[in-house]
Amino acid sequence: MKPISEAWCCQIDVNNRCHLDCAYCSRLLRHTRADQRFNMSLHDFRTALESLSGFPGKIGIIGGEPTLHPEFSKLCYAVQLSGISKATFGLFTSGGKGYDKHRGLIDETFGFVAMNKHTEEQKQACLHQPLTVGVDDVVKDEAYRQKLIENCWVQQQWCPSVNPKGAFFCEIAAAWDVILDGPGGWVVEPGWWKRSPENFADQINRYCGHCGMPVPMAREHLGVKEQISAGNLKLFNEHRLPLHDFVTVVSGSFTVEQMEAVKVNWDPGNYRGDIRNDRPYGHACAAGSSGRRP
The mean pLDDT value of the chain amounts to: 90
Output the pLDDT for position 270: 75
- Amino acid identity, residue 140? K
User: What domains are defined for the chain?
Assistant: 4-119 (3.20.20.70)
Residue 290 has pLDDT above 80, yes or no: no
| Euclidean distance between CA atoms 29 and 16, whole angstroms | 7
Q: How far is CA 255 from the centre of its chain?
A: 27
Could you give the dihedral angle defined by the CA atoms of residues 171, 173, 176 and 177, in that order, rounded to the nearest 10 degrees?
Answer: -100
Using pLDDT thresholds of 50, 70 and 90, give the confidence band for residue 220.
confident
Query: What value does the mean pLDDT take over residues 218-225?
Result: 82
Using pLDDT thresholds of 50, 70 and 90, give the confidence band for residue 244.
confident
Instruction: Report which listed range, 89-98, 116-125, 271-280, is most confident.
Output: 89-98
Query: What value does the mean pLDDT take over residues 49-56?
Result: 97
More confident residue, 120 or 99: 99
Q: Which positions ≥6 away from 11 have C-beta within 8 Å? A: 59, 60, 61, 62, 92, 159, 160, 161, 162, 171
Residue 203 has pLDDT above 60, yes or no: yes
More confident residue, 51 or 220: 51
More confident residue, 270 or 225: 225
| Euclidean distance between CA atoms 106 and 112, whole angstroms | 9
More confident residue, 274 or 83: 83
